[in-house]
């Protein structure tokens, strides 16, 4: 608020040092420039005639007969005006800077979004093109449909399991445990009932009884002999009898494939177009072995394609065993679980060392991605002790047909001849039905995205190698171990019967390098 005394002091400070007589006439009202308030003040008079004490006395009316004009009064220098102007300019600068920053940010966001849109359109165009057909391995024992006609497969079931592997087996065991009269239909694209895969690269190779091997029998660690299959054939019920059975049961439609799902309508479609209505569904389609780029390109030649083997199923075991028996040299590409186990199994089976067994991989030692370096080197020595020629820090960069086998060009410039080559460089999750079924696949890890209860959609669950689940401690994960298939399948089956349990299990793994060396973690 502008007081009269303050105004007078300001005027005195800005007036000439010596004036004859100055009279200021302040009217009845005054204006506060900051607050915009009008208020009444008394009239005052004062003069400034110098700096002596006498000049400070207020003159009488007679001494100042003529008042000064208001226009002659110098404008006071108010500190709040300067402060107000400074704040106003500061706020204006901040406003302009904010506008510039906002404009720049919006422009950058628009540009990035526009570029992503262009890339996305390009990717979509690329994905809509017909993909190149991969050369597949033709098994000596092709899948046989049983039942042969889809009309004999139930059209409506309470529980539908897609996939006939370990995860499905664990799931239907859990379902039957929680619901003894449950009716479960399994759709498996293999010709066999559910079986265990680990012995295919270990114990079954150590069995010297050819007749037992043909029946897929192997000896366990305690010396007892058992079948590769989880359950005998009579454990399962015929597909045509499933829905009529008062006690329920498990039926397996072998050799059949589900092409896509309608998760909203709860429908699964077979390759012939027929549909199966379900109440609860599990996808446990597992994984498929992959070929490295150099072998993928080489398989365009049918002659080379016949000599390159993958290893995953019973059909693969039968084909590789036959090739092994007919070969004088076999090369195994890959230094992980499967490659190391197969190399040791073949080396141990060739007791007379009449065959050349090679193992080729890029790491410095066997299981180099899993074990510490010193254990990896120790494992390599154990593999060599089985009669295997281990070639570390080595890659195959070229493949061509040579006589009745293959000539492999290595990254060190050397050539290696082998009658047959077995590629064991990992697997890819089977998510072929994802796009058409509108299911999400993790772009980095692969596999169907599920929550901690292994659920992808309402009443639709995923388990085993093809599941990319959320671990509260470790984030998104996808695991390819046998133990994970068992536990995730069991938990999915329990949740399908209403358990609603989260998957917190930290799976273990084990491996046997011949009958004498084994480890687990």
The pLDDT-based confidence of 59 (bands split at 50, 70, 90) is: low
Query: Is the pLDDT confidence value at 123 over 70?
Result: no
Q: What CA–CA distance (Å, rounded) separates 261 from 438?
A: 8
Residue tagged 């000539």 (tokens): 407
Q: Where are the domains of the chain?
A: 1-77, 93-127, 150-194+229-287+429-520, 293-425
Torsion sign (Cα): 340, 341, 346, 348: positive
Higher pLDDT, 470 or 52: 470
Q: Which residues are CB-contacts of 203 (< 8 A; sequence separation ≥ 6)? A: 218, 219, 220, 512
**pLDDT for the residue numbered 116:** 55
**pLDDT of amino acid 71:** 54
Q: Where are the alpha helices (DSSP H) in 179-234?
A: 203-206, 210-214
Distance between CA atoms of residues 481 and 506, nearest Å: 11
Looking at the predicted structure, is the pLDDT value of residue 32 above 90?
A: no
Mean pLDDT of 172-183: 97
Answer whether CATH 1.20.120.550 is correct for domain 150-194+229-287+429-520. no
CA dist 420 and 310 (Å) reads 11
Q: What contacts 416, CB < 8 A, 6 or more positions away?
A: 331, 358, 360, 391, 407, 408, 410
pLDDT: which is higher, 519 or 273: 273
| pLDDT for res 139 | 47
In whole numbers, what is the pLDDT of the chain averaged over residues? 84
Residues 6+ away with beta carbon under 8 Å from 488 = 167, 170, 454, 463, 464, 467, 469, 503, 505
Measured from the Cβ of residue 308, the count of other Cβ atoms closer than 10 Å reads 21
The CATH code for residues 293-425 is: 3.50.50.60
Helices (H) and strands (E) in the chain, counts: 12, 27
70 pLDDT above the threshold of 90? no
Per the confidence metrics, is the pTM higher than 0.85?
A: no
SS3 string, 70-94, reads HHHCCCCCCHHHHHHHHHHHHHHHH
The predicted structure's pLDDT at residue 399: 97
The pLDDT value given to residue 200: 96
Q: Look at residue 434 and tell me whether its pLDDT is greater than 70.
A: yes
Q: In the numeric block, which tokens belong to residue 79? A: 């500190």
pLDDT at 121: 43
Domain 150-194+229-287+429-520 shares a fold with domain 293-425: yes
Write down the pLDDT at residue 114. Answer: 54
Percent of the chain with pLDDT over 70: 77
- What pLDDT shows up at residue 101? 77
Residue 131 has pLDDT above 60, yes or no: no
- 466 HSE (CA, 13 A, CB side): 29
DSSP state of 146: B
How far does Cα 236 stand from its chain's mean position? 36
Of residues 354 and 18, more confidence is placed in 354
- For residue range 179-204, list pLDDT tens digits in order: 999 999 999 999 999 999 999 999 99
């Amino acid at each position: 608020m502008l007081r009269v005394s303050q105004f007078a002091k300001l005027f005195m400070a800005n007036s000439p040092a010596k004036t004859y007589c100055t009279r200021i006439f302040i009217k009845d009202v005054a204006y506060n420039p900051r607050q915009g308030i009008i208020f009444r003040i008394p009239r005052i008079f004062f003069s400034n005639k110098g700096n002596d004490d006498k000049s400070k006395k207020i003159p009488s009316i007679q001494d100042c007969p003529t008042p000064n004009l208001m226009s002659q009064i110098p404008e006071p220098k108010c500190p709040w005006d300067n402060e107000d102007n400074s704040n106003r300019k500061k706020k204006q600068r901040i406003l302009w800077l904010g506008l510039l920053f906002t404009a720049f940010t919006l422009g950058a966001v628009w540009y990035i979004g526009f570029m992503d849109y262009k890339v996305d359109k390009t990717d979509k165009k690329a994905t809509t093109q017909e993909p190149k057909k991969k050369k597949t391995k033709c098994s000596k024992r092709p899948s046989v449909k049983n039942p042969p006609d889809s009309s004999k497969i139930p059209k409506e079931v309470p529980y539908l399991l897609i996939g006939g592997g370990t995860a499905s087996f664990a799931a239907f065991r859990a379902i039957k445990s929680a619901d003894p009269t449950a009716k479960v239909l399994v759709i498996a694209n293999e010709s066999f009932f559910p079986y265990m895969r680990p012995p295919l690269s270990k114990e079954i190779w150590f069995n010297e009884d050819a007749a037992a091997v043909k029946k897929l029998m192997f000896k366990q660690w305690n010396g007892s002999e058992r079948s590769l299959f989880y359950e005998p054939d009579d454990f399962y019920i015929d597909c045509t009898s499933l829905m009529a059975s008062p006690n329920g049961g498990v039926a397996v439609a072998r050799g059949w494939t589900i092409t896509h799902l309608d998760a909203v309508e709860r429908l699964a479609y077979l390759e012939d177009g027929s549909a199966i209505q379900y109440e609860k569904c599990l996808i446990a389609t597992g994984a498929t072995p992959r070929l490295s780029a150099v072998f993928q390109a080489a398989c365009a030649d049918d002659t080379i394609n016949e000599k390159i083997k993958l290893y995953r199923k019973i059909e693969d075991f039968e084909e590789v065993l036959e090739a092994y028996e007919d070969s004088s040299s076999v090369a195994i590409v890959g230094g992980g679980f499967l490659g190391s186990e197969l190399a040791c199994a073949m080396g141990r089976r060739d007791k007379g060392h009449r065959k050349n067994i090679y193992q080729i991989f890029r790491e410095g030692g066997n299981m180099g991605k899993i074990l510490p370096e010193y254990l990896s080197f120790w494992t390599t020595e154990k593999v060599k002790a089985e009669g295997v020629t281990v070639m570390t820090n080595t890659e195959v960069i070229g493949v061509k047909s040579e006589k009745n086998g293959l000539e492999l060009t290595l990254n060190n410039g050397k050539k290696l001849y082998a009658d047959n080559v077995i590629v064991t460089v990992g697997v890819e999750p089977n998510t072929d039905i994802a796009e058409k079924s509108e299911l999400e696949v993790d772009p980095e890890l692969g596999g169907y995205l599920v929550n901690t209860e292994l659920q992808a959609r309402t009443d639709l669950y995923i388990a085993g190698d093809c599941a990319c689940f959320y671990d509260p401690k470790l984030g998104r994960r996808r695991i390819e171990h046998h133990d994970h298939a068992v536990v995730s399948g069991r938990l999915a089956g329990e949740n399908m019967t209403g358990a609603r349990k989260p998957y917190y299990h930290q799976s273990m793994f084990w491996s046997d390098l011949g009958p004498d060396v084994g480890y687990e973690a």
